[in-house]
Structure 1
Amino acid sequence: MFKKLLRRFGLVPPAHPLFADNWYYFRRLDQNRPLSDYEFVVFDTELTGLNRQRDEIVSIGAVKIRNLQILVGETFHVYIKPSRALPKDSTLIHRITPQQIEQAPQLATVLPDFISFCGQALLVGHYVGLDVAFLNRACRRHYGAVVSNPCLDTMRLAQTYTEMQWQQYHDRFRMDATYSLAGLSQEYNLPDFTLHDAYEDALQTAYLFVFLIKKMRAKGIVTLKDIFSAGQAWRNLF
């Protein structure tokens, strides 16, 4: 029981080999290398709703970034059949219909492929905590483990970048700032993709991520440790 509790908090390696290698790898992760040295997987999920105890993942989309370049040939996109009927309200948002997922695989069969796709990359998402919460709930249920991959949130990165831009002014906070994925993409003149589609949202987020990293790199944020420190410093302002 005690060892199970330690595993739940990530203090001992997961029993499942799909997760154990990453647990060891990320415990020794060197955060002092240039950001271009790391591989990232930018991902997004579509859900039946936002209740973390009841709702489920119905689609996962992801794209890889290597050398700060989006690899459009290395992508992941799948529809998933939930255990319950698809709520009409969720269909209105992500436009996934019951007919589309009738023959789709269940999440238990999708997870190994997605975890393997992520490999030893860092995970990136817009408000990534929500996606990771649903992903880890599923992983814990089916494998008794959670992903060890560190995560970067493009919403937090955008907030940090905004603070960097305004730090020389007395009024340091933009009350009109928007941090939605669509709003930021429009503000920075990034390519436009279809909203609430897991794969296209992942692509949209990937473009935003590369844009922000390159802008922040010009301001002296050059390593992974710099990124984590900058984000922490921004949160400490409040």
Structure 2
Amino acid sequence: MIERLFRFRHPLVQLEKHRLTRVARGFIPEELAPLYQRVVPDPETAIDQLEFLVVDFETSGLDPERDTILSIGMVEIRQQTLSLSSASHFYVAKPQQVKPDTAVINHITPETLAAGVSLEQSIHDLLERMPGKILVAHGAAIERDFLRRALAVDRSADLPVVWLDTLMLERSLATNRGKEGKDYRLCQIRQEKGLPGYLAHNALADSVATGELFLVLLKEIFAGLPPTLGPLYYRSLYGRA
């Protein structure tokens, strides 16, 4: 009985109930309809049965209300394998948004963005790849909040999208091991796990680096047991097992 009650309250089950409620009420924007047509996976769903889209946004700052997306990188994971052939990277054409310090950190110049695509087109391209996939990001709150802002979706009306956060997954492991307060930067975690260095603050490189880290975290978290979605989503939300 307790196990059934916990399952009923699992965040994935609640997200599916939210999706069904929104569908029943209607008034879903056309561009978001494909997301609402997909059932949120059950907590017991095996990882091998799912497809993942690892995303990274480079932005002009951390405030979605004032700052903007400069570039988007993404790559897919299928059958616990990173598919480099699926990788894509595009810049958002708003050269006036580039701050001097941002240009240095993100290796983005006004000239680079001038050859990019509009924010609307870049978000449209991202939305086309999202249905049926679990999204993965490092520090996923940034990507989630900037996407909400770009879609003009209120914080209280979460999209029926499952986000897995590699930062929170690592935090859950650190909490279990009594090592809270560590450095959770992507480059630092990768170094601790023996993963190679990469070009940081580049959306495509960051998405590939996050995908590699995610696959390592899967092995650490499940320690030889068949990985399922429920524990990963719970850890991603709360930073603990």
Under a length normalisation based on structure 1, what TM-score does the superposition of the two structures give? 0.82
Q: Give the corresponding residue for 1:37.
A: 49
For the residue of structure 2 that corresponds to 1:12, the secondary structure is helix
8 Å contact kept, 1:139–1:146: no
How many angstroms does 1:96 deviate by?
Answer: 0.1
Change (3 A) 1:103 1:182: same
- Aligned counterparts, 1:67-216, within 5 A: 67-82=79-94, 84-140=96-152, 147-164=159-176, 166=177, 172-175=178-181, 177-216=182-221
Change (3 A) 1:84 1:24: same
- Is residue 226 of structure 1 aligned with residue 238 of structure 2? no
1:220 and 1:159 mapped to 2: Cα distance? 20
How many angstroms does 1:233 deviate by?
Answer: 6.6
Q: Give the corresponding residue for 1:169.
A: none
RMSD: 2.4
How many angstroms does 1:82 deviate by?
Answer: 2.3
| Structure 2 residue corresponding to 1:24, chosen from 37, 50, 63 | 37
The code of the aligned residue for 1:87 comes to K
Q: Give the corresponding residue for 1:15.
A: 28
Change (3 A) 1:227 1:103: closer
How many angstroms does 1:151 deviate by?
Answer: 0.2
1:227 and 1:18 mapped to 2: Cα distance? 28
Unaligned runs of 5+ in 1: 1-8, 167-171
For the residue of structure 2 that corresponds to 1:42, the secondary structure is strand
1:232 and 1:49 mapped to 2: Cα distance? 23
For the residue of structure 1 that corresponds to 2:201, the secondary structure is coil
1:227 and 1:221 mapped to 2: Cα distance? 12
- Is residue 217 of structure 1 aligned with residue 227 of structure 2? no
How many angstroms does 1:146 deviate by?
Answer: 6.8
- Is residue 48 of structure 1 aligned with residue 60 of structure 2? yes
1:200 and 1:209 mapped to 2: Cα distance? 14
Change (3 A) 1:75 1:146: farther
Under a length normalisation based on structure 2, what TM-score does the superposition of the two structures give? 0.81
The code of the aligned residue for 2:45 comes to R
Unaligned runs of 5+ in 2: 1-17
- The number of residue pairs the alignment matches comes to 217
For the residue of structure 1 that corresponds to 2:28, the secondary structure is coil
How many angstroms does 1:162 deviate by?
Answer: 2.4
2:124 and 2:103 mapped to 1: Cα distance? 26
For structure 1, which segment, 102-111 or 211-220, has the greater mean C-alpha deviation from structure 2 after superposition? 211-220
Q: Give the corresponding residue for 1:4.
A: none
How many angstroms does 1:147 deviate by?
Answer: 4.3
8 Å contact kept, 2:171–2:240: no
The code of the aligned residue for 2:216 comes to F
8 Å contact kept, 1:37–1:67: yes
1:58 and 1:37 mapped to 2: Cα distance? 33
